[in-house]
Structures are given as structure tokens and as C-alpha cells.
Amino acid sequence: MTVSALGEPCVLLKLGEVVLKGRNRELFERRLQANIRAALKETGLKADLRHRHGVIAVFLPEGTSVETAEAVAERITYVPGLVWIHRAWRVAKTPEAVTKAAIELLADREDVKRGVSFAVRSRRRDKRFPLTSMQLDRAVGGEINDIYGLPVDLRNPELVVSIEVDRDEVFVYTGGLPGQGGLPVGTSGRGLVLMSGGIDSPVAAYRMMRRGLRVDFLHFSGIPFTTTESIYKAYALVRALDKFQGGSRLWVVPFGKAQQSIKASGQDRLAVIAQRRLMLKTAEEVAHRLKAGALVTGDSLGQVSSQTLQNITAQDDAVDLPILRPLIGLDKTEIMATARRIGTLAISELPDEDCCTLLAPRRAETAAKIADLKQIEKRLDAEELAVQLADSLQEYKLEG
């Protein structure tokens, strides 16, 4: 394949949920385009974005190689708000140019050599084009059939040649890369994720980013009673998630001494829930400082003792900010499948010293009473302690 034979490489982006947003649709589209441009900065290319009828066309600089165009398409697949990303060819707006490009596009393909079934599917946005969509399908499909001898299957083809007739040009492509779907990051406000080193919280963060929430990450370290391993692990997880939103920030609170105070309170079975409440109180204080409107956790109903309905209710009582739990109805297998797909599972499975293990009692409370927890907090002066912990906050910036 050569650029002269096929035209110019470009990338077509198909919008998902955004197209359903009535009067506010323009706000969502602007945010999506800004997110795409931010992602493209990582490639070093100055691309031209043009938005037309639920499709964003990314025109690449003249002379861009096919390999570079493919890398651009791959990078954009991580931007929430898009459902399909197609590596396409931009060709002249004539039936002859379209047919020639479609023929060239299939040259030297192994599946074509095997004789796969095919279909041509055209979409004519510009009704001034001399052929209707059906006429274009037949013309291009007939040429492909004559040259390559491929069988036509309009219902369930193994190969689809897609043609989109736009205002100034025509796009021709086969296949595509699935996008993340959801909403553009930043359209639903800002949240603060309580980020452990486990499997669940990174998946919770990802699911909220897909719903348009821009998130910061807060990690509670067991320092000075643990090493910095958990911080490095949290940092690696945030780096893995940053491709979905960009500009991520990791904040770390040294929590070991506060845990020691809780353990010394003598309420062994309540220690885990008391710790969780103090973490939430601290997170709420941090969220106010970062102007975040919600907290995000990786809780899954019934997964562990701290996530029974009674204990979740006791944790909700600790703060006024809403606590978002996007994994609440998922089981571990579903959570792990998402973690594997987004690239966080291998990191989460690395060993580290989790601060939560410092308080693991022999028997954990599954139905903590709020009144008992408040008695512990009164002795600890939990409200003031949460402020002090927030004051000890440290930012770990992601390196480029």
C-alpha cells in the first residue's frame, strides 16, 4: 500500500453516548475534543480535528506514515466518550477514487487470499454525491468481486469495507478498534479515589472516569510501620490509569501512627471499621481542599467483612460527601476481568505491605454499630485527627 494509491491516512472517531445529550451536547463534544487533543500531544503530532454528525475526523500532518497513524489510533482508544476508532484513508470525492481505494485497501491481505466473505457498507452524509449509498455499495462491491473473487454476504460478512461520504472528501476503511464508551472525562465533575494497592480500587477509578468523573488518587500508607512499597505500587497503578484521563495526581497520607492509636483503643473487632471511617473523614477533608465533590471506593457488597451492608452503612455515616461505589454489585471475577483489560491486574498482584494488615483482628465485626464507633472516635478526637492527617498530605507527581 502506498499513500499515492490510497490517499491520505487519517483516523475516524465514532461518538457514543454523547450524541444523546440534547441541549448540552455541545459542552460534552467540546470536552471530548479537548481530551483527544491532550492525548494527541503525547504522540508529538499536530493534528486537525473536524467534527461532523457524530464523527470526529483526525487529519494528520502531510507525509504521516501508516505506522504513525496506527499509533495515533491506538492512543485514542483510551479516551472515554468514543465507541469506535477507525484507521481510515481520505480519498478524493469521486466514485472512481473511492472504488480504486477500496480495491487497493484489500491488496495483499491474508484474509482476502483465503477468500473471506465480504460486504460494502456506505454512508452518504453529503447527498450531492452522484451515487446513492446503495449504488455505491453495488459499484464498489462489484469491482471487488470481479478482481478478488470474494463471495458477498450482506448479513454476516467476515470482512466489511466501510465508505463514508463527507462534505469535502470520502473515507474508506476496514475494521476498527473498540473505544472505551462512556462520557468524556471532566463532564461529571471531580472525585477523589481512595486508592489501595489492591485490585478493586483501580477498577473503581476507571469506571468513574468512564462516567465523566475526573479523579485524584489518595493513598494511605502504613509509614512509619511499613516500607514505601505500597506507595510505589499506588504510583504504578495511577500511571497505568493516567492514559484514560491525563494529568492524574497521587496524594499520600502517612497513616501508621493513626492506626496505632486505633489499635490502642482496645476495640479489636471494631478496629477495621473505625480505621475505614477515619480514612473517609481524612479523604473528605482532602476532597474539600481539592474541590472534589465525591469520594470513590472499590467496595463490593459482601466481598469482605468491612463491606457488609451494615458496615457500609456505618462508613457512610462518617462523612457528608457522597461515596460512589461503582463495583458494589460486581463479583471478584468481573472485577478482575476489567483489571486485566485496563492493565492494572498485574500491578495489583505484586506483593506489598498494605496498611490495612496492621489492624487485622482474629474476628472481624460484620455488623458494626455506629454508636460504638462514635465512642472510639470521641476518644481519638477523630475530627481533629483527620485534619492533622490531611495536613500531612504529600503529592507524588507523575513523571513524563
CB contact set of 50 (below 8 Å; sequence gap of 6+): 56, 57, 59
225 annotated ligand binder: no
28 annotated ligand binder: no
Q: What are phi and psi for residue 155, nearest 5 degrees?
A: -90, -45
Q: CA 373, 318, 261 angle in degrees (round to 5)?
A: 50
51 annotated ligand binder: no
* Alpha-helical segments (H) within the chain: 3-6, 25-41, 66-76, 95-105, 110-113, 133-148, 200-210, 229-241, 256-263, 271-290, 309-316, 332-342, 345-348, 370-380, 382-391
1 annotated ligand binder: no
Q: How far apart are CA 124 and CA 42, in angstroms?
A: 33
What cell does 228 get? 514505601
219 annotated ligand binder: yes
Q: How far apart are CA 389 and CA 281, in angstroms?
A: 10
* Alpha-helical segments (H) within 106-169: 110-113, 133-148
244 annotated ligand binder: no
Alpha carbon 89 to chain centroid, angstroms? 27
Alpha carbon 219 to chain centroid, angstroms? 20
276 annotated ligand binder: yes
Peptide bond just before 224 cis, omega within 30 deg: yes
What cell does 376 get? 472510639
What cell does 375 get? 465512642
CB contact set of 385 (below 8 Å; sequence gap of 6+): 258, 261, 278
Residues in the annotated binding site for ATP = 194-195, 219-220, 276, 298, 307
Residues in the annotated binding site = 194-195, 219-220, 276, 298, 307
